[in-house]
């Protein structure tokens, strides 16, 4: 991995992907916008003289708007699966409110004396609408379309989470991989896109009344044109891989699969939040999961054996600021209470309880500590604050809750938790900037994402659990003054997963088997 590669260099190197993602992004934005205008405009016109319907429809559209975008995408999965359809549906819902509301407001805002005199001249309802109300309301309507466009360009980045493509692939990949160039390669074009589309619409909006009549025709044509950029991902494949943005960009991920195994299957980018379910529902065949993930158990997936050892060990251990250990002398001891306590199957089970049985991480943590006889009632201490952080998935939530109970039960310190800090980069930066004191990290992540060793160093480590741990411990202390405490026990490594039934049917046990199978088809 070259650390010194410039942003421009990255964009040139990845220009194929960048271009495809940009087109997909424009396509997603414009298709959803087109549908939103096609439905929102008539709806806005229809409610303009119906007070009760207006209240109901604006209310519903308003509620849709308040659903957090990632949640809305989540709701879409059971209904529409993954890919373009749910993404467009979600974006459409976001674009709907500004379009309806501005159409409604625009038409209501037309001077009643003007529409009345239009009727008095002998225009029928349709003529009044087309010749008077719409042209006069057009600047307000277009302002709504502009708002919707900018919202959609932004929200469309999240489409990458459900295999619909777009610039979010780079953005979330970059965040996960601590690769600033990759983030910018997604974020800058997305920002430019918002600015350019907004600017184009502002030209239409500012056009004077006379041109407006023609300009309002230009809009749908323009949208249709942009929409056609989007080519729906071809889902009719024998084997379809769905990988997280992070996995896609990693040497110990998709890149390694390609170079070491020669695996070449069609892939889509998807969030790990929906990946397992999508595999279960046969929307995807191969996914990149974590070996301790509870959903493995829930969705009856099996992991493929990594027979060429491209996935390095990912032993979890608390990563703590050196100065916090010095400031709070009790901390190291209490954190180490958990060392070696949780193996792979225990962790999978804990994760299963949260991810699948929907138990709260607090309850799962409590049950676990009770079972192990480690639980002590909180002392409600006040002699210092420990700030714990976590990444945004169940395992980390559970670990944080366990640590919180251990710390508060065994010492007089108080715990502040900052959970859900996104990916590795966000957690690591928070730790480095002294916003948190500790978060659970994985040795493999520390090695590959944060330290980025040379190929020679990698060869020397050779995927050994102990050597990797010693290496990251030494380097982190040296480079960042951060300390790795003793590993908790389990190895949450990357793994390729398939449905048990499909794997058995085709006798796929290892990644090499998968390659052979994929090549045959």
Q: Which residues bind other proteins (CB under 8 A)?
A: 111, 113-114, 116-124, 127, 132, 135-136, 209-210, 212
Q: Tell which residue, 207, 189, 188, 212, has the closest CA to residue 134.
A: 212
Smallest distance from other proteins to CB 115, Å: 9
- Reading the block at residue 305, the tokens are 């054996």
Phi and psi at residue 385, to the nearest 5°: -115, 130
Contact yes or no for 389/418 (Cβ under 8 A): yes
Between residues 109 and 463, which has the closer beta carbon with respect to other proteins? Answer: 109
Q: What is the 3-state secondary structure (H, E, C) of 10-31?
A: HHHHCHHHHHHHHHHHHHHHHH
Smallest distance from other proteins to CB 144, Å: 19
Helix residue ranges per DSSP H, 124-167? 125-127, 134-155
Between residues 128 and 426, which has the closer beta carbon with respect to other proteins? Answer: 128
Smallest distance from other proteins to CB 66, Å: 36
Between residues 214 and 282, which has the closer beta carbon with respect to other proteins? Answer: 214
Between residues 117 and 202, which has the closer beta carbon with respect to other proteins? Answer: 117
For residue 304, give the DSSP letter: P
Strands 494-499, 286-290: pairing is: antiparallel
Smallest distance from other proteins to CB 123, Å: 7
Question: Which residues are CB-contacts of 448 (< 8 A; sequence separation ≥ 6)?
Answer: 250, 251, 252, 312
Contact yes or no for 404/436 (Cβ under 8 A): no
CA distance readout (Å), 177 to 18, 87, 249, 398, 447: 17, 24, 7, 23, 12
Spatial strand order in the sheet of 385-389:
414-418, 385-389, 438-442, 316-321, 482-484
Smallest distance from other proteins to CB 124, Å: 5
Between residues 128 and 163, which has the closer beta carbon with respect to other proteins? Answer: 128
Task: Name beta bridge partners: 491.
Answer: 315
Between residues 132 and 296, which has the closer beta carbon with respect to other proteins? Answer: 132
Contact yes or no for 183/426 (Cβ under 8 A): no
Between residues 113 and 377, which has the closer beta carbon with respect to other proteins? Answer: 113
Between residues 207 and 365, which has the closer beta carbon with respect to other proteins? Answer: 207
Smallest distance from other proteins to CB 107, Å: 14
């Amino acid at each position: 991995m070259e650390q010194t590669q410039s942003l421009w260099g990255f964009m040139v190197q990845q220009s194929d992907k960048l271009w495809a993602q940009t087109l997909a992004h424009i396509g997603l934005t414009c298709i959803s916008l087109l549908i939103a205008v096609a439905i929102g405009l008539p709806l806005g016109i229809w409610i303009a003289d119906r007070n009760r319907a207006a209240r109901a429809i604006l209310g519903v559209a308003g509620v849709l708007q308040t659903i957090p975008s990632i949640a809305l995408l989540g709701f879409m999965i059971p209904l529409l699966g993954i890919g373009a359809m749910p993404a467009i549906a979600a974006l459409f819902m976001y674009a709907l409110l500004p379009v309806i509301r501005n159409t409604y407001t625009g038409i209501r805002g037309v001077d009643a004396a003007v529409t009345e005199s239009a009727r008095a001249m002998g225009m029928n309802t349709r003529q009044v609408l087309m010749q008077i109300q719409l042209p006069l309301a057009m600047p307000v309507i277009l302002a709504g379309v502009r708002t919707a466009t900018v919202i959609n360009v932004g929200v469309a980045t999240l489409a990458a989470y459900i295999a619909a493509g777009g610039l979010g692939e780079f953005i979330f990949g970059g965040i996960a991989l601590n690769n600033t160039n990759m983030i910018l390669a997604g974020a800058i074009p997305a920002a430019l896109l918002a600015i350019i589309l907004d600017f184009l619409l502002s030209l239409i909006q500012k056009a004077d009344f006379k041109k407006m009549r023609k300009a309002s025709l230009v809009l749908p044509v323009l949208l249709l044109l942009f929409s056609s950029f989007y080519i729906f991902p071809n889902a009719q494949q024998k084997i379809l891989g769905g990988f997280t943005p992070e996995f896609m960009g990693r040497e110990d991920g998709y890149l390694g699969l390609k170079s070491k195994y020669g695996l070449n299957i069609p892939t889509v980018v998807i969030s790990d939040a929906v990946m397992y379910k999508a595999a279960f529902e046969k929307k995807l065949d191969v996914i990149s999961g974590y070996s301790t993930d509870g959903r493995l158990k829930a969705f009856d997936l099996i992991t493929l054996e990594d027979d060429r050892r491209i996935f390095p060990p990912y032993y979890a251990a608390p990563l703590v600021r050196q100065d916090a250990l010095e400031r709070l002398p009790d901390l190291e001891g209490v954190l180490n209470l958990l060392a070696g306590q949780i193996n792979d199957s225990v962790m999978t089970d804990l994760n299963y309880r949260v991810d699948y049985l929907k138990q709260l991480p607090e309850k799962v943590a409590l049950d676990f500590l009770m079972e192990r006889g480690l639980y002590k009632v909180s002392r409600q201490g006040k002699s210092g604050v420990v700030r714990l952080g976590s990444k945004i998935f169940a395992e980390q939530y559970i670990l944080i809750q366990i640590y919180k109970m251990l710390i508060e039960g065994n010492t007089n310190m108080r715990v502040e938790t900052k959970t859900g800090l996104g990916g590795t980069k966000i957690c690591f930066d928070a730790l480095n900037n002294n916003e948190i004191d500790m978060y659970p990290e994985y040795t493999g992540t520390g090695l590959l994402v944060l330290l980025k060793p040379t190929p020679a160093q990698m060869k020397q480590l050779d995927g050994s659990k102990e050597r990797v741990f010693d290496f990251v411990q030494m380097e982190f202390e040296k480079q960042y003054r951060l300390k790795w405490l003793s590993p908790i026990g389990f190895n949450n490594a990357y793994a390729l997963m398939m449905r048990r039934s499909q794997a058995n049917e085709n006798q796929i046990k290892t990644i090499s088997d998968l390659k052979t199978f994929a090549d045959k088809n």
